[in-house]
Amino acid sequence: MTPRTRKSLESVLDNLVWFMLIVVLALFSALIPNYFQIGIFTNIIEASSVLGVMSIGLALVIIAGHMDLSVESVAALAAMAVGILFCSAGIGMGIKLSPQWLMIPASLLVACGIGALIGLFNGFLVVKLKMSAFIITLASFIWVRGIVLAVSGGRSAQDLDPAIRWFAIERVAGIPLSAWIAIACFVVFSVLMAKTPFGRHLVMIGGNETAAYRAGIRVTRNLIIAFVLAGAIAGLAGWLLAIRTSGATANLGVGLLFNAFAAVVIGGVSLKGGVGALPGVYAGVLLLSSINTAINLMGLPANYTQVIHGFLVLAAVLLDTFKQRLRQRLA
Amino acid sequence: MTEKLLVLNDIRKNFGAIEALKGISFSIGKGEVVALLGDNGAGKSTLVKIISGGLQPTSGQMLFEGEEFEAKTPAEAKAAGIETVYQDLSLCTNVDVVANFFMGREITRKIAGIPFLDERAMEEITTKALTSAGTRIPSMRTKVEHLSGGQRQAIELNRFAHWGGKLLLLDEPFAALGVEQTRRGLDMIRHVASQGIGVVIITHIMQQAFQVADRIVVIRHGVVAGDVDRTKTSPDAVIEMITGQTLTGAGPVGKQ
Ligand SMILES: Nc1ncnc2c1ncn2[C@@H]1O[C@H](COP(=O)(O)OP(=O)(O)O)[C@@H](O)[C@H]1O
Ligand SMILES: [Mg+2]
């Protein structure tokens, strides 16, 4: 194989998700009545904001060669905290700040702060004490959701303060601000991963931790920061979730983890670490969101959605294995 | 050799009851290539690990550039300019040549206080360093996983030389390489040494030792069984040192 064919094959593999997105959108537009309209596309972007933000954190940790299963529960806890503090109905305490806009940074700080703390806890146990990331973050997935249930008593908070709700309502170019926040996150973190030493180091740690360590890269510190970032971003996803639903319920966001997981893997991030980039993850998120929209439009019962999502995760992992094999053959 | 880079003085190492090194003394000059030979279990790897901070000697003294030296960790040794290059342990194959060359030492430009990678500057320096060493790598932007074992070794050795390495330790560096790649690797070692870097290479293959080394040091049962100029000995003489029938006139023997 000439280097050029190899190179082009490899860039096809790297950008596979974009081809898939285009094919799926074209197929749905052709086959499903009413699919092809601008409204649907803004809808897809809007519906993908929470999932998108959550996927960024998950992708960071997987690229660095680890795993964070706790992001869904962390988002739920952040949403519940924002709901309890700033909702006026249900279990909401209806706290008001003046001037009103202060509630935006305050609620953001609460959401991201909670996430960062749990991320620090995960990171410390996994990186410093060298415990299995899978088990530690699975435990966090369970106990954090437990806290959500405990503090809410199974009840919900409604009527989020309009000052915060504003992000879901105000639109720029037909897309709500909350979705713009997700897009901005993708831009910022894509640049962070591709253009800064920190991002480069995470990729190298994911590729060969020993080599990175031997080259003087502060592996422990970088990995803990990655876990903290993943937690904080999951907190931000929770904040967006609270805004979108104008409150929080005890089972808010259940199932998002597997969507995020599927989006990340379909987006080209390899589970073995060191491979993948965030723009692809965004394409993966949009792809899942397009499929969800199609399911809704076709009016499939909700139970089937779960089956389809399960198969999507399976397909994503199969795709990852297949791509790894192909890459090995190319190498 | 004119100036001594590293002097080992009666280095001993015990693992519990096992005396792996029983008093090793020899020295390495700047720009000198020393081949370390010996049977399996003779103590070669143990000695190299002690020099590079992976192990601490039980007793004995090391002088590095004339000053007493004992590295507690590989990082400490590396900071002093001493490094072991292990195959597969020092490159990240999932990123390109430039990223590997600058691993942990990236050039950045600050924009609004945030450090950004200066890819162009890094690529320029990498290209210059590798081509001046005669390495043929089609593109500096190729991921290392697509490069041959020999090309990978060239990156490692040139990276070491470029970043001010002073003493290079190689433990069986050609175990996984073919004939042609090994020949290039040996050339590369000579190129590195010509820049004033001291090299210690452990090898099992006599022919390699005679191709690349200035001096040959033989270790047997934890002592120096021979320390000879390459030009003043022969493969047969060295084999006899390794197996234990020291010839007269083969060189000084380490004290027991
Ligand atoms: N960590 C260790 N614990 C106990 N014994 C060891 C250890 N490392 C090496 N040895 C012993 O020290 C001796 C020298 O080993 P080594 O330096 O690996 O030899 P070589 O590299 O020359 O083959 C051997 O007898 C080996 O069994
Ligand atoms: Mg050995």
For A141-164, how does the pLDDT look when each residue is reduced to its tens digit (9 = 90+)?
A: 999 999 999 999 989 999 999 899
Domain layout of chain B by residue ranges: 2-80+164-241
For residue range A89-132, list pLDDT tens digits in order: 889 888 888 888 899 999 999 999 999 999 999 999 999 999 99
Distance between CA B183 and CA B161 in Å, rounded? 19
pLDDT at B154 over 70: yes
Q: Are B104 and B148 in contact (CB under 8 A)?
A: no
Residues 6+ away with beta carbon under 8 Å from A149: A250
Helices (H), chain A: 3-14, 16-31, 38-47, 49-63, 71-86, 103-123, 133-152, 162-169, 177-195, 197-207, 209-214, 219-245, 256-266, 278-298, 302-330
Pocket probe for ligand 1: among B18, B24, B36, B55, the residue whose CB has the most ligand atoms within 8 Å is: B18
- Mean pLDDT rounded to a whole number for chain A: 91
Distance between CA A21 and CA B128 in Å, rounded? 41
For residue range A50-64, list pLDDT tens digits in order: 999 999 999 999 999
- Residue B248 has what pLDDT? 52
- Mean pLDDT rounded to a whole number for chain B: 89
* Residues 178-197 in B contacting A (C-alpha not used; CB under 8 Å): none
Mean pLDDT score, B81-85:
89
Question: What is each CA distance from A24 to A38, A46, A49, A309, B216, in whole angstroms?
Answer: 16, 18, 19, 16, 66
pLDDT at B251 over 60: no
CA of B238 relative to ligand 1 center, distance in Å: 22
**3-state SS record for B106-117:** CCEEEECCEEEE
Calculate what percentage of chain A has a pLDDT beyond 90. 61
Which phi and psi (to 5°) does residue A111 adopt? -65, -50
Does ligand 1 lie within 6 Å of residue B150's CB atom? no
Mean pLDDT score, A62-86:
96
- E strand or H helix that includes residue B46: helix B44-51
- Residue A140 has what pLDDT? 96
B26 pairs with which residues across the strands? B8
Nearest to B75 among A3, A6, A216 (CB): A216
Distance between CA B150 and CA B173 in Å, rounded? 10
Interface check for B92 against chain A (CB to CB < 8 A): the answer is yes
- Residue A233 has what pLDDT? 98
- Both tokens of B74, joined, read 């590989």
CA–CA min distance B116, chain A (Å): 5
Q: What's the CATH code, domain B2-80+164-241? A: 3.40.50.300
Distance between CA A3 and CA A12 in Å, rounded? 14
A-B contacts (CB, under 8 Å)? 68
pLDDT at B1 over 50: no
Which phi and psi (to 5°) does residue A156 adopt? -125, 165
Which residue in A has a C-alpha nearest to residue B101's C-alpha? Answer: A215
pLDDT at B2 over 80: no
Interface confidence (ipTM) of the complex? 0.88
- Both tokens of A61, joined, read 């940790």
A87 pairs with which residues across the strands? A160
Pairing state of beta strands B198-202 and B167-171? parallel
For residue range A21-54, list pLDDT tens digits in order: 999 889 888 888 877 787 788 888 988 999 999 9
Distance between CA B179 and CA A168 in Å, rounded? 66
- E strand or H helix that includes residue B13: strand B4-15
**Would you state the torsion angle of the CA atoms of residues B156, B158, B159, B164, taken in this order, to the nearest 10 degrees?**
130
CA of B203 relative to ligand 2 center, distance in Å: 9
Does ligand 1 lie within 6 Å of residue B144's CB atom? no
Mean pLDDT score, B170-183:
84
Mean pLDDT score, B136-156:
88
pTM score of the predicted model: 0.87
Of all ligands present, the nearest one to the C-alpha of B56 is: 1
- Residue B87 has what pLDDT? 67
Closest ligand 1 atom, CA of B222?
14
Mean pLDDT score, B133-154:
86
